[in-house]
Structure formats: C-alpha cells, structure tokens
Structure 1
Amino acid sequence: MSEAAEKATKSTNKPKKSWFKGLKAEYNKIVWPDRKTVIRQTVAVVLTSIVLGVVIKLLDIILSYGIDMLISL
C-alpha cells in the first residue's frame, strides 16, 4: 500500500473507535426504570388506549345515527 493510503486508513479508524467509545459512555449514563414503574406506565397506556377507543366508538355511533337521521329526512 502507498503511504497516503496507509494514512487514510489510520485516520478513518480513529474516529470510529472514539465514536464507539462515546456511544458506550452515553449508553452507560442511561437510567433504566425499575420493574414497578414499567408496569405502572404500561397499565396507564393500555387503559388510556381502551378509554380513548371507547370514546371514539361512541362518537362514531352518535355521529352515524345523526347523519342517518339527516339523510332520511
């Protein structure tokens, strides 16, 4: 290999290594929630989704009924 190609290879390896070191350092800073918190938040999301689904379905039924009443006049 030529001298320029060796320098290019060496210079491209260093940033990758430092990037992975930085990535690992940032990953180690993550504070993971405990099991109780995850369960509580999961239950909250599921219940909220169910309630919103029911509300949307009720609105759909009411609006469909209203539109049918207007069309049939």
Structure 2
Amino acid sequence: MADSAKTEAKKDNFWKSIKTEFKKIAWPDQKETVKQSVAVLCVSVVVGLIITFLDTLIQFGVNFLTSIGA
C-alpha cells in the first residue's frame, strides 16, 4: 500500500514538472509560425523538383543505355 502512495506521488510530481517546463518554453507567435511554415513548404517544393529532375535524368540515362544493348 505504501508503494502505491509513492507511485502516485511520483506521477503527480512528474506531471507538475512537465507543466513547469512547458511554461518555460518560448512559443512562437502566429506571424513567426506562418513564416516558418511557408519556408518549409518552399524548401519542400524545391527539393521535390530537384528529386524529380534527377529521377527523370537517371531514367533517361538508363533507357538510353538499355536501348543500346537491344
């Protein structure tokens, strides 16, 4: 029974410490969040385009090499 009380006390202390730590976090405002989201979207599109270009280039090269042997 004493172990149960200690376990409950540890759980309560754990959640209180999490709440305390969350109060210390510097959460971004809406403007900063939108700015960072747009940056992530732009970088994702650019990387996607680069991957598409490289894939097409490699596919063309493989098709060219396989057509030589046929």
TM range (shorter): 0.7 to 0.9
Partner of 2:50: 55
Q: Bigger radius of gyration, 1 or 2?
A: 1
Instruction: Give the CA RMSD over aligned residues.
Output: 1.2
Amino acid at match of 2:23: N
Give TM-score, length-normalised by structure 1: 0.82
Farther-moved stretch of structure 1 (10-19 vs 51-60): 10-19
Amino acid at match of 2:14: W
3-state SS of the aligned residue for 2:27?
coil
- Once superposed, which parts of structure 1, at least 4 consecutive aligned residues long, lie more than 6 Å away? none
Q: Matches of 1:63 and 1:9 in 2, distance apart?
A: 63
Give 1:27 deviation, angstroms. 1.2
Does residue 25 of structure 1 match 2:20? yes
Give 1:16's match in structure 2, choosing from 11, 18, 25: 11
Q: Structure 2: which 5+ runs fail to align?
A: none
Give TM-score, length-normalised by structure 2: 0.85
